[in-house]
Structure 1
């Protein structure tokens, strides 16, 4: 079931899915409205008659005008979207393009304009003005007028949305919100139950007669691990599985992604159902990969610090949002790598996320790119001081101190101003106390 949910989530996040649904609605709707026109014979009276077409020629003119205008505006919308994607790619990185492609407003606007164009063509084909038959679908034409007004309002909303969506602060805020959502469930928390104590892995492995490497049969990024099916298969076959990779890691064909321990010699065919629980793809996804949004934020910061852009304030905004996330992680209990099944038997030892790994993903690249950039280096040290105040666990504090030492080392090699170094040293000394 969760695998189906994963595929459904991927389908919804494509650029074409929502527009196709709206276009399908635009194809089905005129048949129903024309049927109402044909069966009910609606005759507008009073002031309402001025809002409805009075003749087949009037209906044709209205529908033709709307159809021509909608396909023209659809082209304009598509052009605006491409310009926004080009700007995002050049300033924030090509991997940020899919964030714009998955935007529901962009998808809805494009689908709505094309849908109304198709709607008008279908209704226009039903208008008849011959000696044998005269038919004016006044309800269908009136609905086309209402949708046109709605699309004009939608165009204004779309232009406002695009103008906001390419601003650095808004992009960073959106990624930060996605990151906060991804951190609610950390891998491998969904796989079985967490053990309340550690196990002697060597002793567990010695309890099995055979061991066999589990090799990937596909290349690409590990996007999803089906937690229910994986635990069900391992428990049902009385196996122990040691995983070397987690979602977000890149797999090569025939690369050993883990090792299976069993009481019988398993063939490659018997391992295939186990491999089916690991889904790979060409890109990383955020569903189980908590570091994905962190890397997106780091990419924005790295580009902002490049000589071609030289925008330290965008990098500082990224550091602030990352520090907010790391401050939250200092209060979180990271999932145990020991995953147990029925009767609390250890079934899977997973490559679990750690605070140290998340800190490295968040700050290492930014620190490396911030060489000879005093404002960013100083802000990094301020972030470490803030995180040190939030941290309660001593291991977390040691990780933060390690990053502070690397930042200080970078500052001593790249900052020439004595006063800047003294300010940085004061912040570093506060962390050591």
Structure 2
């Protein structure tokens, strides 16, 4: 729920409107109580006009705020459209979760609502009632207008910065790093400072031939798994459960996403089968789009989308693709230092009960490299950056991860050999691929890398 609200535009503006209504009702009442007790030094700073002037000021504020709010919404929609069509539709979450945009809309709508709410309390005395001008309330409306103007300037400045592709990629990179550090533990550092194999997690138990298929309750993208609920049902049924679909995978209701089998080897009772089926269906949550709640690969997916879109014939921007690969390289190096592979949940006795599939280095490297390698096969700059990515990853990796890097390196070399490059370009790419082997051997040769 928190993640859903975080990427919506309406919660913060709605809260601003609610607070504005409360202030618009409460401050005029406070005005009525203290208007004869206001200190003289404070009266000089309060609104001192008549009831007609107060109405004019409040009406002008409300009208201008409607115009400015419409402008802000229009600019936001244009930015969303630009990000979706020019870079990647999966970048929209980054913009809708932007606190600058949400706060600016909240300030504008709150000022508009407050001005209208206070306007209804102004009385001219023509209707037989005592004239009333809420001086403090009108002054607050004026201050909110100044704050709105300041927010507008900040919003325009922020928007001009956010629509730059470098800023977008930096935001994606930062969010992805937060997700990695939140979900994955650090691999054990070698004591002597030399590259080491690390301590990979214990291999999960293999499921038997006859298992109980588990299906999701609804179609959509796998966004999260309620580990506590699934673990509880598994212990009650004395079973083992495996969810073999990665976070972010597309699940179809009624098709298996995992399996369960009895720990003792005895067949499940009907009650245990029902318990496991219902628990898995409720614990595995789906949504209409991928999120970074439990999906460590989502940031790489966004960066790869940017690179692939930049390499399309309609855009033809290899420089953006190279920069996206630079961010992907940094993320892969961070991921290589983490415990990848399946997540094993154990009961109080230390026995594995639930196996949740998570991407390993091969999944992540394929995600970051496969599409740029395919769509940028004819661009030496893209191939050179992929070679540098593999070199940087090799330097940050451990020997047990080298086979994955070697497989990607072989694909890169075959792609380079298949292209009709100039001898100079071909020689340069051959040199860069050779330096990947040097990095895996623990050597880093200084030299030109671009």
Contact 1:53 1:141 in 2 (8 A): no
CA distance in 2, matches of 1:349, 1:188: 17
Structure 2 residue runs without a partner (length 5+): 187-198, 439-450
Over 3 Å counting, the alpha-carbon distance change for 1:46 and 1:394 in structure 2 is closer
Q: Does 1:69 align with 2:73?
A: no
Q: Which residue of structure 2 lines up, in the alignment, with residue 173 of structure 1?
A: 170
Residue 265 of structure 1: which of 269, 272, 276 is its match? 269
Paired residue for 1:151, among 124, 148, 151? Answer: 148
Between the aligned partners of 2:348 and 2:11, the Cα distance in structure 1 is 40
Aligned to 1:279: 285
| Distance change in 2, residues 1:347/1:188 (3 Å) | farther
Output aligned runs, 1:415-426, within 5 Å.
Answer: 415-426=420-431
The count of corresponding residues between Structure 1 and Structure 2 is: 417
Q: Hey, what does 2:15 align to over in structure 1?
A: 21
Q: Counterparts of 1:217-256 in structure 2 under 5 Å? A: 217-256=217-256
Which residue is 1:292 aligned to? 298
Q: Which string of whole-angstrom CA distances, capped at 9 and with x for unpartnered residues, describes residues 313-365 of structure 1?
A: 11111111111111122222225544321111121222232111111111111
The equivalent residue for 1:341 is 347
Which of the numbers 87, 96, 117 marks the counterpart of 1:92? 87
d(CA) in 2 for partners of 1:83 and 1:70? Answer: 20
Aligned pair partner of 2:136 in 136, 139, 162: 139
Q: Following TM superposition, by how much is the alpha carbon of 1:261 offset from its aligned partner in structure 2, in angstroms?
A: 1.6
Measure the CA separation in 2 of the matches of 1:196 and 1:328: 18
Structure 1 residues 378 and 335, CA, compared in 2 at 3 Å: closer, same or farther? closer
RMSD of aligned alpha carbons: 2.2
> 1: distance between equivalents of 2:343 and 2:34?
67
Provide Cα deviations, 1:29-59, integer angstroms capped at 9, x if missing partner: 1112112111222546358436413321121
Using a 3 Å threshold, how does the CA distance of structure 1 residues 376 and 239 change in structure 2: closer, same or farther?
A: same
Q: Provide Cα deviations, 1:360-403, integer angstroms capped at 9, x if missing partner.
A: 11111111111211111111112212222222x22312211211
Question: CA 1:56–1:43 in structure 2 vs 1: closer, same or farther (change >3 Å)?
Answer: farther
Worse-matched range after superposition: 332-341 or 274-283: 332-341
Q: Displacement of 1:200 after TM fit?
A: 4.8
| Structure 1 unmatched ranges of 5 or more | 1-6
What SS class does the counterpart of residue 181 from structure 2 fall into? coil
What is the TM-score with the length of structure 1 in the denominator? 0.91
Counterparts of 1:333 and 1:85 in 2: how far apart (Å)?
A: 35
1: distance between equivalents of 2:274 and 2:146? Answer: 60
3-state SS, counterpart of residue 295 of structure 2: coil
Partner SS, residue 129 of structure 2: coil
Q: Give 3-state SS (helix, strand or coil) of 1:349's partner.
A: strand
SS, match of residue 224 in structure 1: strand
Q: TM-score, normalised to structure 2's length? A: 0.87
